[in-house]
Amino acid sequence: MTSCSVGPSYTPPGIGIPSEWKNKNEKCQGCEPNKISEQADLDYWWQVFDDAKLEELESLAIQNNRNLYVAYERINEARALMGIAASEFYPQINLNPVYTNTGELIKNYTNPNNVAAAPAIETNAFRAHELYYFMPINLSYEVDLWGKIRDQYDASKYTWLAQKKDYEVVMLSLTTNLATAYYQLRAIDAQIDLLLEVLKTRQTAYEINKARYEEEIIFYADVTLAAEEVDSALGQYNEVLRQRNVLEDQIAVLIGVPASEFCLEHMPLKGMPPCIPSGIPSEILLRRPDIAEAEYHLRSDHALIKRAYSLFFPSLTLTATGGFESPVLKDFLKWMSRYWMLGTNINQLIFDGFKTPYYLDSQIARFKEASGQYQQQVLIAFQEVEDALADLDSYAKQYDLAVATEEWAQETYQLYLDRYMLGVIYYINVANTERDLLNYKIAVNTLQGFRYVSTIQFIKALGGGWYYEP
């Protein structure tokens, strides 16, 4: 049966949407034109990197990750609760057979000749044995006059939709965390190659210095300094191996396999990440799964406010019972022992110690709390995009400067090495310039990894999907 609705209508919180990003870049720095991605899908955003290994790992994560499985089961739970709420739209029918066999002591009082004024005469107590057979079918149906049942159903429905968006939030977090760890590991692989090359160079320098010392060409201090540089590079190499093992274990957990059984091949990071256009309309943030989830929770709390209003109005319940009733088994289930009853129950609240008004106040407060959380989430979303854009721009500029600095350091190192081989300067000058060169190479490698990570964070800030019209 249809119903009217009481309580305020839902109006989404008003939020000012900027027309463009503060840190918007007119062009992508350091990216090739064919690597500019104009669109992406929330479910497969990582395909913009065109990395087969990353796609394989993401597929394994989606299949095996336990957090994603838990999020999926939360959807099923919310859907079942929505079904429970929907069941109130229908009559509740149950069969309740009753059989009793009672023996008891009874003391009876009779009124002789059925005279009203005559006193009752007490008889002696006696035992009675009573049999009772009853098989009713009971029906109860609450008419949803004020939308109480529908509002409860709407609240459950929006909670279910919120859980679906929460699944997307978990999916986006899982896939971006995996991609971040993957490219960090690849950046470390490139650093491992760099350190192995440095170790080889420094070991050669140590052997040269040792031979020159034995020929009494140089002081022994040059030998000890060269040995010191070898051990220093070896220490750095062991540290990056440790970092790689940690990231490899992290990836193992994300894809749902034991860390002891997972190994990832050596894959040095090369090239630049794809360019994600920053001229995307800011309205797309409202489609972020976490923001959509927050609004569904807001709508659910609003539906509960309307339900709380309906509790002030009378409720109407229709009841019906039909079946068979007999004290004698042989007459049970015969037409003559039929039994039926129809009834209507109207309930109007008069006073309940202010429980219902306080319940309404609590629902209004929950709605306002959810509204504030929704608006805060939108502000955080804008912050995350602006931070990611600032990181993309800054890391691109730092990377270009680091590459130029590395080239100058390489030339400086070669000049000092040549002069040392001619015996003009001491080895300490070569060691210092070679150490600076290594630091600049590591900086270039690190910034390259940062550019990949900040690209992933930008994609995550956008919600994993976008469409851009240049």
If pLDDT is split at 50, 70 and 90, which confidence band does 254 have?
very high
Residues 6 or more apart whose Cβ sits within 8 Å of residue 175:
45, 46, 58, 61, 62, 464
Higher pLDDT, 468 or 335: 335
| Bridge partners for 339 per DSSP | 323
**Residues 195-201: what's their mean pLDDT?**
90
Residue 455's pLDDT is what?
Answer: 92
Lowest mean pLDDT among 7-11, 31-35, 84-88, 219-223: 31-35
**The pLDDT of residue 329 is above 90:** no
**Residues 76-95: what's their mean pLDDT?**
95
**Domain 33-95+144-313+354-467 -> CATH class:** mainly alpha
Higher pLDDT, 407 or 15: 407
- Which of the listed ranges 12-16, 106-110, 321-325, 423-427 does the model predict with the highest average pLDDT? 321-325
Structure token pair of residue 430? 């070569």
Percent of the chain with pLDDT over 70: 88
Euclidean distance between CA atoms 114 and 300, whole angstroms: 65
- Closest alpha carbon to 326 in 94, 93, 99, 96: 99
For residue 135, the tally of other CB atoms under 10 A from its CB is 18
Residue 301's pLDDT is what?
Answer: 95
Q: Where are the domains of the chain?
A: 33-95+144-313+354-467, 96-143+320-347
Higher pLDDT, 18 or 233: 233
Residue 417's pLDDT is what?
Answer: 87
If pLDDT is split at 50, 70 and 90, which confidence band does 4 have?
confident
What's the chain look like in SS3? CCCCCCCCCCCCCCCCCCCCCCCCCCCCCCCCHHHECCEECHHHHHHHHCCHHHHHHHHHHHHHCHHHHHHHHHHHHHHHHHHHHHHHHCCEEEECCEEEEEEEEECCEECHHHCCCCCCEECCCEEEEEEEEEEEEEEEEEECCCCHHHHHHHHHHHHHHHHHHHHHHHHHHHHHHHHHHHHHHHHHHHHHHHHHHHHHHHHHHHHHHHHHHHCCCCCHHHHHHHHHHHHHHHHHHHHHHHHHHHHHHHHHHHCCCCHHHCCCCCCCCCCCCCECCCCCCHHHHHHCHHHHHHHHHHHHHHHHHHHHHHCCCCEEEEEEEEEEEECCHHHCCCHHHEEEEEEEEEECCCCCCCHHHHHHHHHHHHHHHHHHHHHHHHHHHHHHHHHHHHHHHHHHHHHHHHHHHHHHHHHHHHHHHHHHHCCCCCHHHHHHHHHHHHHHHHHHHHHHHHHHHHHHHHHHHCCCCEECCC
Residue 25's pLDDT is what?
Answer: 59
Residue 468's pLDDT is what?
Answer: 40
Residue 116's pLDDT is what?
Answer: 59
Residue 234's pLDDT is what?
Answer: 94
Residue 427's pLDDT is what?
Answer: 83
Residue 194's pLDDT is what?
Answer: 92
pLDDT in tens, 303-315: 999 999 999 999 9
pLDDT in tens, 17-57: 666 777 765 555 555 444 444 444 456 889 889 899 999 99
pLDDT in tens, 374-399: 999 988 988 898 899 899 999 999 99
Residues 6 or more apart whose Cβ sits within 8 Å of residue 352:
none
Residue 32's pLDDT is what?
Answer: 47
Residue 41's pLDDT is what?
Answer: 47
Average pLDDT, the chain: 87
- Closest alpha carbon to 18 in 385, 276, 293: 385
pLDDT in tens, 262-288: 999 999 999 899 887 665 556 667 678
pLDDT in tens, 147-195: 999 999 999 999 999 999 999 999 999 999 999 999 999 999 999 999 9
**The pLDDT of residue 114 is above 80:** no
**Residues 235-259: what's their mean pLDDT?**
95
Residue 40's pLDDT is what?
Answer: 47
**Residues 110-129: what's their mean pLDDT?**
69
pLDDT in tens, 121-150: 666 788 888 889 999 999 999 999 999 999
